[in-house]
Chain A
């Protein structure tokens, strides 16, 4: 049955890649439609974000006045491409869910042990958080970065041995294994969304005439990034606390300055710094966006850290 789990992961990867293409195509089409609608002149900020974070971003592209059939270039409309992209993203989440459920049934424990399993779970978290933001704020342009990040996580997962490892004694605590890692998966997903928002923010900020009309407004992206951190930060706090509880039970010490522990503390400090920096003037905008990217780099370091630094967390890395 493990082989079906692998097929499902590959299917999810394909769906994610196709969804990425749909979204990129949708934005290109949206750009063309706006160009056609407004003649040769580049429009400034014709869409999105006027009502808080509820962005009908890609739909608005097609709903731009005069962007009707007589002037629109031939080919599928941006809105329908975006809908296909969304559908494919949901499909990818479905495939990944199937893959993780199958793997759990086969191995008898949550898919959180080997690097392959944890990376697959994290990719699931990326997709789930993205789709939550799509559903809640209709911020679909985040897909431009979120789906490639998800695909990257899946490729990383597939680069590790997919064999099922039995649980070594230190991991035989199903309650803490499950809660500690599931919370981490959601936290990482939220941080990926914040990084995607920051990335788009910088694109709009540096090249407004190139991206300003197809991406959400700067302050909307800024708020989305913040919103994602507000979701992720308390979750990361819980991950660290649950990890400390587990360390106390299994190793006799709630804190050992283990590399993974320490890296997650750095990540926590950076996001804490980001939240505080927003209050200090001058740290919104580009500064905040860069800080979010640095913070996500720290997340990635924490994520892959056990594979490279060793330490107490180096389970199932094939070493």
Chain B
């Protein structure tokens, strides 16, 4: 939607707050592209909205791919062996030969791929460059606006009016000014012509700075993501057996103990509540205690304790030659494919053994594994066949010189423990982003130019406004024009 002006130049549709590359206020002149240095070209690349738009479209496409193609979890990605297993079991079955190609392109972890991050970095630079590029002009338009316009403007202005007032120029100017002042416009005198006078009026001149705020806030959010990714910590899989202190680590000096955990259910079987009674100590002194639920994390010293999962573990002790070489709650965190068995695992590095602890899942009745007992399946490095023994609670079994005791079952609660200094940066950016958007869209800079010229019947008045994307202004504009026309002086 363009309106021809002159010399083939065009008035472009405009977004409030944005200043068009070429608009009628420049008399339709285009900046020359010749004789630009390399630095100038680089700058030109980054301030080009087309480039920015193109990057956004590619990011959108990549994100779509990342949504449709199943993504691998961070934990699995970090472990090459686990990744290979995941790859063969999932994508290989689903995509066949294409899986190798997708894998080479990093499509199974798009959001951590180097090119995804590089595109965000380029977008960030582009946004910064655009803001820097645009700010001086926005400043000039707000502070030192052009106060007089030429014929081309009044011919092409999207909002315009032309009428005659039966009074002299000075009286007409007063009427015009009064009309705008009543609508709380700032009114400025135009550069005086030999005959007649010009008037410039505007409102919401700070509105366009909303775009600067919004764009910079996007950078602030990206910075928050970077801070989140490079500082603090996020332990999603912390198992806290009931009554057993667990060190938080990461130089926090904090220790968390789950005093109890309770899960409750609605009549239809869907979960109603998960609650852990958590005690946090520092240097042996209790610093916090709270019933921690999914939506009410416990927060101490900037460390957040979230209720994440729960389960049952088995307390197992292993001794060798009278020495205790292992004692811990082994979380039975996996379920067999048939859903009948709960499985946990622990390893004793010094003895070169890996032990699976298997128990009948709640409600399952197994002939070879009675309730209240566990099967211990001991895998020894270099030995193919595992050795299996079933022991009931409180009893022991000796396998390969190591005595394993199944002390008791113990419930555990699963916590996500995080400290994220980046999140506050993200919240600050988010607030600015919303404020900036509203400023931009709902306080568009309204600018009106008026030309008063003496005629035989009094003064001819030409009113013009370049705003096209601000339909709400049109009735106000018409009101103001009507008021100026009707005022009796």
- The answer to whether A and B interact is yes
Q: Which residue of A218, A238, A284 contacts B13 across the interface (Cβ within 8 Å)?
A: A284
Q: Which residue of A lies closest to B295 (CB)?
A: A173
Q: A166-B266, A234-B441 are in contact. Are A309 and B67 (CB under 8 A)?
A: yes
Instruction: Say yes or no: B427 contacts A245, CB within 8 Å.
Output: yes
Q: Complex formed: what's the CA distance from A173 to B296 in Å?
A: 9
B47-55, B175-183, B278-286, B370-378 - interface stretch:
B47-55
A7 within 8 A of B: no
Instruction: Say yes or no: B474 contacts A250, CB within 8 Å.
Output: no
| Chain B residues, CB < 8 A from A257 | 66, 71, 111
| Chain B residues, CB < 8 A from A170 | 294-295
| Chain B residues, CB < 8 A from A52 | 471, 474-475
Instruction: Say yes or no: A244 contacts B430, CB within 8 Å.
Output: yes
B56-64, B97-105, B246-254 - interface stretch:
B56-64
B345 within 8 A of A: no
Instruction: Say yes or no: A275 contacts B15, CB within 8 Å.
Output: yes
Q: Which residue of A223, A244, A249, A276 contacts B53 across the interface (Cβ within 8 Å)?
A: A276
Instruction: Say yes or no: B1 contacts A222, CB within 8 Å.
Output: yes
| Chain A residues, CB < 8 A from B66 | 257, 262
Q: Complex formed: what's the CA distance from A249 to B12 in Å?
A: 45
Instruction: Say yes or no: B469 contacts A278, CB within 8 Å.
Output: yes
Q: Kindly provide the distance from the CB of B367 to the nearest chain A CB, expressed in whole angstroms.
A: 33
Q: Kindly provide the distance from the CB of B239 to the nearest chain A CB, expressed in whole angstroms.
A: 15
B225 within 8 A of A: yes
Interface residues on B, range: 35 or more
Q: Which residue of B18, B64, B434 contacts A266 across the interface (Cβ within 8 Å)?
A: B64
A230 within 8 A of B: yes
B293 within 8 A of A: yes
Task: Scan A46-84; emit 1 where CB is below 8 A from any B CB, else 0.
Answer: 000001111000000000000000000000000000000
Task: Scan A276-296; emit 1 where CB is below 8 A from any B CB, else 0.
Answer: 111111001100000000000
A-B contact count (CB 8 A): 145
Instruction: Say yes or no: A279 contacts B14, CB within 8 Å.
Output: yes
Q: Which residue of B14, B53, B71 contacts A277 across the interface (Cβ within 8 Å)?
A: B53
B84-92, B269-277, B455-463 - interface stretch:
B269-277
| Chain A residues, CB < 8 A from B308 | 251-252
Instruction: Say yes or no: A278 contacts B293, CB within 8 Å.
Output: no
Instruction: Say yes or no: B52 contacts A276, CB within 8 Å.
Output: yes
| Chain B residues, CB < 8 A from A254 | 228, 420, 423, 426
Instruction: Say yes or no: B430 contacts A241, CB within 8 Å.
Output: yes
Q: Complex formed: what's the CA distance from A169 to B22 in Å?
A: 55
Q: Complex formed: what's the CA distance from A238 to B436 in Å?
A: 12
Q: A166-B272, A252-B304, A254-B426 are in contact. Are A305 and B67 (CB under 8 A)?
A: yes
Q: Kindly provide the distance from the CB of B49 to the nearest chain A CB, expressed in whole angstroms.
A: 5
Q: Complex formed: what's the CA distance from A166 to B469 in Å?
A: 46
B234 within 8 A of A: yes
Q: Complex formed: what's the CA distance from A165 to B272 in Å?
A: 11
Instruction: Say yes or no: A241 contacts B49, CB within 8 Å.
Output: no
| Chain A residues, CB < 8 A from B433 | 237, 241
Q: Which residue of A222, A244, A262, A309 contacts B63 across the interface (Cβ within 8 Å)?
A: A262
Instruction: Say yes or no: A234 contacts B438, CB within 8 Å.
Output: yes
A272 within 8 A of B: yes
Instruction: Say yes or no: A166 contacts B295, CB within 8 Å.
Output: no
Instruction: Say yes or no: B1 contacts A172, CB within 8 Å.
Output: no
Instruction: Say yes or no: A250 contacts B294, CB within 8 Å.
Output: yes
Q: Complex formed: what's the CA distance from A113 to B220 in Å?
A: 33
B403 within 8 A of A: no
Instruction: Say yes or no: A278 contacts B15, CB within 8 Å.
Output: yes
B333 within 8 A of A: no
Interface secondary structure of A, over-half rule: helix
B268 within 8 A of A: yes
B396 within 8 A of A: no
A226 within 8 A of B: yes
Instruction: Say yes or no: B71 contacts A252, CB within 8 Å.
Output: no
A1 within 8 A of B: no
Q: Which residue of A lies closest to B308 (CB)?
A: A252
Task: Scan B156-183; emit 1 where CB is below 8 A from any A CB, else 0.
Answer: 0000000000000000000000000000
Q: Kindly provide the distance from the CB of B263 to the nearest chain A CB, expressed in whole angstroms.
A: 9
Instruction: Say yes or no: A166 contacts B270, CB within 8 Å.
Output: yes
B413 within 8 A of A: no
Q: Which residue of A233, A253, A265, A284 contacts B418 across the interface (Cβ within 8 Å)?
A: A253
| Chain B residues, CB < 8 A from A266 | 60, 63-64, 67
Instruction: Say yes or no: B271 contacts A168, CB within 8 Å.
Output: yes
Q: A263-B67, A275-B15 are in contact. Are A250 and B295 (CB under 8 A)?
A: yes
| Chain A residues, CB < 8 A from B50 | 280
Q: Kindly provide the distance from the CB of A204 to the nearest chain B CB, expressed in whole angstroms.
A: 13
Q: Kindly provide the distance from the CB of A54 to the nearest chain B CB, expressed in whole angstroms.
A: 8
Instruction: Say yes or no: B234 contacts A252, CB within 8 Å.
Output: yes
A227 within 8 A of B: yes
| Chain B residues, CB < 8 A from A269 | 56, 59-60, 63
Task: Scan B276-317; emit 1 where CB is below 8 A from any A CB, else 0.
Answer: 000000000000000001110100000010111000000000
Most buried by A among B10, B63, B418: B63
Other A-B contacts than A169-B274, A279-B15, A281-B21, 16 sampled, CB-CB below 8 A, are A54-B475, A137-B471, A166-B270, A233-B441, A244-B426, A250-B306, A252-B418, A253-B418, A254-B228, A257-B71, A263-B63, A263-B64, A278-B14, A278-B15, A279-B13, A279-B20
Q: Identify 15 residue pairs between A and B in the complex whose beta-carbon atoms are under 8 Å apart, listed by A's number.
A: A169-B274, A223-B469, A230-B441, A234-B441, A250-B306, A252-B417, A253-B418, A254-B228, A254-B423, A254-B426, A257-B111, A263-B63, A269-B63, A270-B60, A280-B50
User: B residues within 8 Å of A by Cβ?
Assistant: 1-2, 10, 12-15, 18, 20-22, 49-50, 52-53, 56-57, 59-60, 63-64, 66-68, 71, 111, 225, 228, 234, 236, 266, 268, 270-274, 293-295, 297, 304, 306-308, 416-418, 420, 423, 426-427, 430, 433-434, 437-438, 441, 469, 471, 474-475
